[in-house]
């Protein structure tokens, strides 16, 4: 992502929540210091304290993307 979107920054939106070995968190991506252009939510499964899988959803994308 850093190579494709130089100068963009990921930020956590709200608090991550989870149960057992699963965690859900929302994030935003956009140019540093400007309004977020892309928003998403990811669901992760942990195994032994490490990421086993991540499923991501895009909640907001720019028109034409």
- pLDDT value at position 65? 66
Q: What is the mean pLDDT of residues 42-47?
A: 96
Q: Contacts for 44-52 with beta carbons within 8 Å, 24 or more apart?
A: 45/21, 46/21, 46/22, 47/21, 52/21
What the chain holds in terms of domains, given with CATH numbers, is: 8-60 (3.10.450.50)
Per-residue pLDDT tens digits for 4-40: 888 899 999 999 999 999 999 999 999 888 888 899 9
- pLDDT value at position 18? 96
Q: What is the mean pLDDT of residues 45-54?
A: 94
- pLDDT value at position 20? 95
pTM, rounded to two decimals: 0.81
């Amino acid at each position: 992502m850093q190579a494709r979107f130089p100068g963009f920054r990921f930020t956590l939106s709200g608090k991550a929540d989870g149960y057992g070995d699963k965690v859900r968190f929302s994030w935003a991506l956009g140019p540093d210091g400007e309004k977020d252009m892309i928003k998403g939510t990811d669901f992760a499964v942990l195994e032994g304290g490490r990421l086993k899988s991540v499923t991501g959803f895009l909640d907001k994308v720019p028109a034409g993307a």
